[in-house]
C-alpha cells in the first residue's frame, strides 16, 4: 500500500504537466497568474499566522504554526514556494510589454515583500535561496536597463544599508540568525547517517517506494528516538536512493542531462529568452532537496510541473525556429 500511495502522489503533477503542455501561451500564462495569486494570498494569511503566533489560520496544528506558513505545514516548503513564485512573477513581468518600463520598481517591491515573508518563515535554506533569487533578478534588471545601471546599483547599495540597519536592531531578525548557530546539532545529520546504512544494506534495488518510515524506524538507534517519528530523510536524493536504488540514480542522471540541454538551448544568462529565467525554479528545488523533501510535497511538485511545461513549450519553439533557419 505504501508503494501504491507513493505512485499515486505523482499523478497530480504529471496530469498538470501533460495538460499544460497542450495549452497555448495565453492559457499557460493564466496558470502562472493563478500560482502567483495563491502566493500573494499565502503571504496575507501568513501575516495573520505570524502575528498571532499560530492562533489564526492554524490549518494543520503544525509544530511550525508560529511562523509564516501560508497553506503549508512546513516553513521550508512555504519559503521555497515563495521563491518559486517570485521567479514566475518576474517571468510574467518580462513577457508583458505593457509593464516593461515599470519592471525595476515592481521587482524591487516584490523582493521586499517576498523577502520579509521568507524571513518570517524562519527558514534558513529559504533565506539562502532568496538571496540567489534576488541576485539573479537584480542582474537581469540591470542588464536590460543599461542606462540606469548606476542608479540601480545605488538603489541596491542603499537598500542593503537600510536592511543591515534594520537587521542589527530587530529582535525577530536577530532570533532568526541565531538558528544558524544550531546547524551542527541539527537532527538531519542523524537522519542521513542512519539512511546511508539503509542504502548500503538494500543496494542495488532499494527498499521500495514509500517504505522509508517503517524501515527507518527499524534501523533508528535508541539514542535518536524521541516522541516524534521521522517522516523523511530530509534529503530527497538519499531518500530516492534508499527506496529505489540504482533506478533512482539513473533517473536523477537523466534529469540532470535534460536540465543541461535546456540551459544550452534557452541560454538563461543571455536574457534573450525570458523562459530561461524559469530554469532557476528546478535549480532551486534541486538545491533545497539537499536538506529537505520538496519533491515529496505534492503542491511543490505541481508548481514545478507547471514551470517545466512552460519551459518545454519554449524549448520546442526555439528548436523549431532553429530548424527553420537551418
Predicted confidence at residue 256, as pLDDT, reads 94
| Rounded-to-integer distance, Cα 59 and Cα 61, Å | 6
Please list, in sequence order, all residues whose beta carbon lies within 8 angstroms of the beta carbon of residue 97, skipping any fewer than 6 positions away.
none
Predicted confidence at residue 157, as pLDDT, reads 54
The answer to whether 69 and 78 have CB atoms below 8 angstroms apart is yes
| Secondary structure (3-state) at 301 | helix
Q: What angle do CA 240, 63, 44 make, to 5 degrees?
A: 100
For residue 287, the 8-state DSSP code is H
Structure-block grid coordinates of residue 288: 533545497
Predicted confidence at residue 153, as pLDDT, reads 54
**What are the residue boundaries of the structural domains of the chain, listed by start?**
10-185+245-325
Predicted confidence at residue 177, as pLDDT, reads 52
Low-confidence ranges of the chain (pLDDT < 50): 150, 168-169, 180-181, 323-326
What are the backbone angles phi and psi of residue 258, rounded to the nearest 5°? -60, -40
How does pLDDT run across 9-31, given as a tens digit for each residue? 999 999 999 999 999 999 999 99
Q: Scan for cell 538531519, then name that residue.
A: 188
Name the maximum alpha-carbon separation found in the chain: 65
Amino acid at each position: 500500500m505504501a508503494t501504491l500511495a507513493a505512485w499515486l502522489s505523482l499523478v497530480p503533477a504529471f496530469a498538470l504537466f501533460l495538460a499544460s503542455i497542450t495549452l497555448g501561451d495565453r492559457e499557460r500564462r493564466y496558470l502562472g497568474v493563478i500560482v502567483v495569486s495563491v502566493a500573494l494570498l499565502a503571504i496575507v494569511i501568513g501575516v495573520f499566522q505570524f502575528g498571532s503566533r499560530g492562533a489564526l489560520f492554524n490549518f494543520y496544528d503544525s509544530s511550525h504554526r508560529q511562523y509564516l506558513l501560508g497553506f503549508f505545514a512546513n516553513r521550508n516548503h512555504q519559503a521555497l514556494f515563495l521563491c518559486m513564485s517570485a521567479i514566475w512573477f518576474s517571468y510574467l513581468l518580462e513577457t508583458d510589454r505593457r509593464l516593461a518600463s515599470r519592471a525595476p520598481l515592481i521587482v524591487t517591491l516584490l523582493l521586499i515583500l517576498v523577502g520579509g515573508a521568507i524571513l518570517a518563515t524562519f527558514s534558513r535554506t529559504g533565506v539562502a535561496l532568496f538571496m540567489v533569487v534576488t541576485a539573479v533578478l537584480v542582474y537581469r534588471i540591470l542588464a536590460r536597463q543599461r542606462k540606469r545601471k548606476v542608479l540601480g546599483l545605488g538603489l541596491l547599495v542603499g537598500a542593503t544599508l537600510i536592511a543591515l540597519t534594520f537587521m542589527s536592531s530587530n529582535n525577530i531578525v536577530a532570533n532568526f540568525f541565531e538558528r544558524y548557530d544550531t546547524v551542527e546539532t541539527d537532527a538531519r545529520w542523524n537522519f542521513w547517517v542512519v539512511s546511508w546504512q539503509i542504502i548500503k544494506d538494500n543496494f542495488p534495488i532499494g527498499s521500495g517506494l514509500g517504505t522509508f518510515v517503517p524501515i527507518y524506524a527499524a534501523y533508528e538507534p535508541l539514542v535518536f528516538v524521541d516522541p516524534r517519528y521521522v517522516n523523511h530523510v530530509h534529503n530527497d536524493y538519499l531518500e530516492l536512493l534508499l527506496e529505489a536504488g540504482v533506478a533512482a540514480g539513473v533517473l536523477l542522471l537523466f534529469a540532470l542531462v535534460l536540465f543541461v540541454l535546456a540551459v544550452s538551448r534557452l541560454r538563461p544568462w543571455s536574457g534573450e529568452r525570458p523562459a530561461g529565467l524559469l530554469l532557476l525554479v528546478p535549480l532551486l528545488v534541486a538545491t533545497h532537496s539537499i536538506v529537505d523533501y520538496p519533491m515529496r510535497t505534492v503542491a511543490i511538485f505541481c508548481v514545478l510541473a507547471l514551470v517545466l511545461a512552460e519551459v518545454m513549450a519554449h524549448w520546442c519553439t526555439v528548436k523549431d525556429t532553429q530548424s527553420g533557419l537551418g
